[in-house]
């Protein structure tokens, strides 16, 4: 049980039963995935799942949309003929 808790801590709670079993086997312990899963469940060791992606862009708005004048043709015959800009939000 000590090895399971240690591996769970080292993996930051991301190892489930199959991966935990492989880690314990690499440490030289002869274990199966069912007992490892049972021990994890009985001791409250669970995988911390990532949160669902939250959409932050609202495409249904009433603001004016700039026309696409270049139509993805960024080549120019001479300098200062086409200028582009990007707005990035952090």
Give the model confidence (pLDDT) of 77-90 as tens digits: 999 998 888 887 76
CA 30 – CA 36 distance, rounded (Å): 11
What's the total number of domains in the chain? Answer: 1
In a domain, 60, yes or no: no
pLDDT score of 11? 81
In a domain, 11, yes or no: yes
pLDDT score of 79? 93
Give the model confidence (pLDDT) of 43-79 as tens digits: 888 888 788 888 888 888 888 888 888 888 888 999 9
13 half-sphere exposure, CB direction, 13 A CA radius: 7
In a domain, 85, yes or no: no
- Which residue range(s) make up the domain with 29? 2-42
In a domain, 79, yes or no: no
The mean pLDDT value of the chain amounts to 85
CA 30 – CA 22 distance, rounded (Å): 10
In a domain, 19, yes or no: yes
Cβ–Cβ under 8 Å, residues 24 and 4: yes
Q: How confident is the model at residue 41 (pLDDT cuts 50, 70, 90)?
A: confident
- pTM greater than the 0.75 cutoff: no
């Amino acid at each position: 049980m000590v090895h399971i808790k240690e591996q769970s801590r080292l993996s930051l709670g991301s190892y489930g039963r199959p991966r935990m079993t492989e880690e314990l086997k690499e440490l030289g312990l002869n274990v199966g995935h069912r007992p490892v899963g049972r021990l994890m469940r009985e001791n409250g060791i669970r995988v911390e799942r990532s949160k669902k992606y939250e959409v932050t862009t609202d495409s249904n708005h009433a603001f004016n949309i700039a026309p696409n004048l270049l139509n993805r043709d960024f080549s120019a015959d001479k300098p200062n003929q086409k200028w582009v800009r990007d707005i990035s939000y952090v």
